[in-house]
Structure 1
Amino acid sequence: MHQFLPPQANVPKYVLQPWADKVEEESDGRIKVELYGAMSLGGTPPQLIDQAGDGAVDIVWTLPGYSPGRFPRAEVFELPFMMSNAEAGSKAYWDLFESDMKDQDFKDFKILGAWMHGPGVIHAKGDGVHKLEDMQGLKLRGPTRVINNLLSETGATPIGMPVPAIPEALSKNVIDGTVIPYEVTTALKIPELVETHTEFSGDKALYTAVFVLAMNKAKYDSLPDDLKKVIDDNSGAEFSAFAGRTMQEYDKPGRAASEAANNEIVILDEAEVARWKEAAQPVIDNWIAEMNDKGIDGADLYERAQALMEKYTNE
């Protein structure tokens, strides 16, 4: 299993390793999963999905958004102010994956899990972001095409780079800040590299980013039925919800580290958030139009994603 974060980061440690251990245990050691972090098998994070597709590795953890335009339906959950919390969002994402993405966007892979992180936060040097106007001209690292569209629409200059490049880019002033969840900030030393963290009040996060745990299809198909069952028993809706929930749980220590660094935590009030929602609306409208151009009913997908999010949030 190949992925892009250092092994001590939360997802490798608390999501991927437990998954690997469980699969090994339930298969009586017949399936051994070796974890390789920080791109140690070579390549760049955007190449992970093809490493699984080509069979260079068996399983990868990655972001569909690292391949812009290739997994269009998965982008729906990255649209602004879509997500309430990562567990409800991951349940909604898995449902929509089953109905709309499994046999389309991801037909060449065996997807073991599909989840999202907790509320996206703006982490910036200096005074940071206290209101919409403060975004003007800020060089911010964003993870995916949709989120970069959100950054430009709100006035920032989005800079694309893989997660591991963020600390150096901050220390060399290549970027003024980054959007990421608190969960991964400690692994990237963000609390020491920025002074301000901007959160959004209300029941919806500014954004989230979506992930997949993807397996080479031929490798999965080559397993005997009893071993396929072990993989299946540990994959899917429940695992996805667990992964999303775990990521959001680890936002707490990340936020605490920012407080311990005496950084400023700015919480935008509902009136200010309403201004951001208005500024971000074109991101949603443009995405729907792009989907329609691809022959996908964008408005329908967006509405169904929202309805699923609502359903699982209120469970």
Structure 2
Amino acid sequence: MKRRPLALAALLAAAGFTAPAHAQQTLRLTAVAGHPPVFLWVKLLDEFFIPEVDKRVAAAGGKVKIEWTRAFGGTLVKLGNESKGIADGIADIGFVSTIFEAPRFPMQNVSYFAPFGTDDIATVGNIVNDMQKNIPAMGQTWTKNGLVYLGGTALDSYHIFTTFPLKSVDDLKGKKITAPGPSANWIRDTGAVAVAGNLNTYYEDIKSGVSNGVVTFATGAWGAKVYEVAPYITKVNFGAQYAGGIAMNKGRFDKLPKDVQKIFLEVGAEYSQRFAAAQSAAAAGLLKKMEEAGAKISELPPAERKRWADTLPPVAKTWAADLQAKGMPGDQVLHGFMDGLKKAGVQPVRDWSGK
């Protein structure tokens, strides 16, 4: 009687070997950012998010290995095109700067239309992250753009860096101030003229006289060396601003094993918290370094800050109404943001929701 051939697994077992249930899968992922790693949101993507994902994936059994290609500083996808580049498959994952992608992420820019809030980075980041979970249309913006949102947070409070001393709103009259995206609204009706720009252009714009200063945040100003050409730093405290987050190509994410998807989401959430803590600490330290390097730092008096806020037109109500007209819950987003600030104990100098 002929013996039937033993299955390969049985032969291996008989010989004292155990075949792995699944061969290791290698994922090749390209991570992008329009800004270079000198800025903390990219630095943490590079030095925390990616290695932490690798660490947890390996600890989960080693069924998956990721080979990363890093393309930061706009080398593969330019600033303001990150979401499209990731959605189109040019890259797989990266930091999406929603401030520079307002047409695709209008609701995510709510804090920029409600300035003079709080300088607490974690508070603003948590409010927007919660809103993206609780307001379906807001959260679905990411999936509609072919992305899965993994985590993000706010930038440290914006101030104004100028080539001239600034002691009151009146000092802005006739001046050209670089203000990115919706932050141009913060100088409306002040007598200043808004000039478009971003962290990659601020230094040369001010040095060449294209503008007389910039509305920006301390950590960004340090990386861009703005204080060298605009040494007058006036702490206006326009508030911490939600500016984007890490997102992944949805098709790519959906094909990941469920346990790997979970790791990406968990590390993304931790990235949000780590970023807030690190950015807060960095902002205070860097302002001190700028002062030591010769910058002249002053704080706008509370009464003048309120006067500035009250000088602005109702930009938030106009913004919300525009979203409503386009079928988006602009009013709900605006009220949600202002309510979130109040629940956190913040007393904004102006209630932009008009309540």
What do residues 61-107 of structure 1 show as CA deviations (whole Å, max 9, x unaligned)? 13212123321211212121233411111011100111221224543
- Alignment partner of 2:117 out of 79, 82, 94: 82
Q: What secondary structure does 1:271 align onto? A: helix
Q: Does structure 2 conserve the Cα–Cα contact (< 8 Å) formed by 1:125 and 1:196? A: yes
1:98 to 121, 133, 146: 133
Query: Which runs of structure 1 show a deviation greater than 4 angstroms over 4 or more consecutive aligned residues?
Result: none
Q: Label 1:269 to 1:115 Cα distance change in 2 as closer, same or farther (>3 A).
A: same
**Partner of residue 207 from structure 2, selected from 155, 171, 180:** 171
Q: CA deviation at 1:313?
A: 5.2
Structure-2 separation of matches of 1:120 and 1:148: 12
Letter in 2 for 1:309: L
Higher RCO structure, 1 or 2 (CA under 8 Å, sep 6+): 1
Equivalent pairs, count: 307
Measure how far apart 1:14 and its partner are.
3.7
Pairing of 1:216-231 with structure 2 (within 5 A)? 216-231=249-264
Deviation at 1:207, TM superposition (A): 5.9
Rate the CA distance shift 1:106–1:242 in 2: closer, same or farther, 3 A.
farther
Letter in 1 for 2:47: Q
Amino acid at match of 1:187: G
> Does the 8 Å CA contact 2:159/2:235 hold for their aligned counterparts?
yes
Residue among 300, 308, 312 paired with 2:340: 308
- The one-letter code sitting in structure 2 at the alignment partner of 1:165 is T
Describe how 1:95-244 pairs up with structure 2 within 5 A. Answer: 95-100=130-135, 101-104=138-141, 106-107=143-144, 108-127=146-165, 129-144=166-181, 146-200=182-236, 205-206=238-239, 208-236=241-269, 238-244=270-276
Which position in structure 2 is the counterpart of 1:298?
A: 330
Are the counterparts in 2 of residues 142 and 148 from structure 1 also a CA contact under 8 Å? yes
CA distance in 1, matches of 2:239, 2:100: 19
The alignment yields a C-alpha RMSD, in angstroms, of: 2.1
Partner Cα separation in structure 2 for residue 136 and residue 91 of structure 1: 36
Shift of 1:206: 4.6
Pairwise CA distance, 1:281: 4.5
Per the alignment, do residues 57 and 105 of structure 1 end up closer, same or farther by CA in structure 2, a change over 3 Å counting?
closer
Aligned to 1:18: 48
Residues 68 and 8 of structure 1, relative CA distance in 2, 3 Å threshold = closer
CA distance in 1, matches of 2:345, 2:278: 16
CA 1:125–1:68 in structure 2 vs 1: closer, same or farther (change >3 Å)? same
The two structures have a TM-score, normalised by structure 1, of 0.89
Q: Give the conservation status (yes or no) of the 8 Å contact 1:135–1:156.
A: yes
DSSP 3-state at the match of 1:162? coil
| Residues 311 and 120 (structure 1), Cα distance of their counterparts in 2 relative to 1, 3 Å cut | same
Cα distance change, pair 248–97 in 1 and its aligned pair in 2 (3 A): same
Q: Quick check: 1:191–1:257 contact (8 Å CA) kept in 2?
A: no
* Structure 1 letter corresponding to 2:317: D
Percent identity (aligned): 21
Q: In the alignment, does 2:104 pair up with 1:53?
A: no
Cα displacement string for residues 113-161 of structure 1 (whole angstroms, at most 9, x for unaligned residues): 131111101011132x2211122232222222x2112223433222212
Q: Structure 1 residues 77, 33: CA separation in 2 closer, same or farther (over 3 Å shift)?
A: farther
Q: Secondary structure at the match of 1:234?
A: helix
Unaligned runs of 5+ in 2: 1-30, 59-63, 347-355
Residues 88 and 241 in structure 1, CA contact (< 8 A), matched pair in contact too: no
Give the aligned partner of residue 298 of structure 2.
266
Tell me how far apart the structure 2 counterparts of residues 13 and 124 of structure 1 sit (CA, whole Å): 27
Q: Does 2:43 match 1:8?
A: no
Partner of 1:245: 277
Instruction: Calculate the TM-score normalised by the size of structure 2.
Output: 0.80
Unmatched segments (≥5 aa) in structure 1: none
> Deviation string for 1:260-292 (max 9, x for gaps)?
122221211111111011012422232122122
CA distance in 2 between partners of 1:313 and 1:59 (Å): 35
Q: Quick one: structure 1 residues 177 and 62, their matched pair in 2 at CA, closer, same or farther if it must change by over 3 Å?
A: farther
Amino acid at match of 1:124: T
| 1:219 Cα deviation after fit | 0.9
Q: 1:19 to 1:313 in 2, by over 3 A?
A: farther
Shift of 1:235: 1.9
